[in-house]
Structure 1
Amino acid sequence: MNIDSIRFTDPPVHHQFPSLYENLGLPEVSSFIEQKYEFEFTIGKTKRKGHGTIRKYKQSGQYKVQLTGKMTGFGPKRLEKLERLLIEKVKERFINNIESEVKAQKVYHVHFGRNSRR
């Protein structure tokens, strides 16, 4: 398996969560920066195309690659190998995109609590 090309499709987006959730240690409610990309890869003699996102969690500094859409013919082992290859190829370019970003696009996630009515 070989990654042939990677192209970012959107600028990086900063997702901000309220401080109430930030200190819970749960990645799904922790602030992160995300960017979408598409890639071409070769498996055997077959060229295929895929889409994914890369995230950097702000507090922990961890990176995570997620594949979007179905990858037919891929089991858990092949998906894991593809994700490892992608994180190696995409991480450095993603960091450069974040640092060279002129105007940050931000998304705020807020808590809408219920008012107690009696």
Structure 2
Amino acid sequence: MNIDSIKFTDPPVHHQFPPLYENLGLPEVSSFVEQKYEFDFTVGKTKRKGNGTIRKYKESGQYKVQLTGKITGFGPKRLEKLERLLLEEVKERFISNIETETKARKVFHMHFGRNDRDK
């Protein structure tokens, strides 16, 4: 399996969560920077296309690649291998995009809890 090409489709987006959630240690409510990309890869003699996102969690500094959409014929092991390959290929360019970004796009996630319970 080889990654042939990668093309970023959107600029990096900064997702901010309220400080209330930051120290819980849960990645799903931790601030991160995310960027979408398209990629071409070869499996055997077959060329395929895919889409994905890469995230950098601000608090922990960890990176995570997520594939969007299904890739037919890929089980959990092959998907894991593809994600590892993508992380190696995309990480440096993603860091470069974050550093050279002139105007940051931000998304703020807020807490919208109810003040009073049903009476």
Q: Structure 1: how far apart are the matches of 2:112 and 2:81?
A: 40
Q: TM-score, normalised by structure 1?
A: 0.98
User: Deviation per CA, 1:60-118, whole angstroms, max 9, x where unpaired?
Assistant: 00000000001100001100100000000000000000000000000000001212266
- Where in structure 1 do 4 or more consecutive aligned residues deviate above 3 Å? none
In the other structure, the counterpart of 1:37 is: 37
Give the 3-state SS of the residue equivalent to 2:86 in structure 1: helix
In the other structure, the counterpart of 1:108 is: 108
Give the 3-state SS of the residue equivalent to 1:72 in structure 2: coil
Q: Structure 2: how far apart are the matches of 1:81 and 1:25?
A: 26
Taking only the aligned residue pairs, the percentage that are identical comes to: 85
Q: TM-score, normalised by structure 2?
A: 0.97
What is the deviation of 1:2? 0.2
Q: Structure 2: how far apart are the matches of 1:26 and 1:60?
A: 11
Q: Structure 2: how far apart are the matches of 1:104 and 1:26?
A: 24
Amino acid at match of 2:67: L
User: Deviation per CA, 1:3-55, whole angstroms, max 9, x where unpaired?
Assistant: 00000000000000000000000000000000000000000000000000000
In the other structure, the counterpart of 1:76 is: 76
1:3 partnered with 2:3? yes
Extract unaligned runs of 5+ from structure 2: none
Question: How many residue pairs were aligned?
Answer: 118
Calculate the aligned-residue CA RMSD, in Å: 0.8
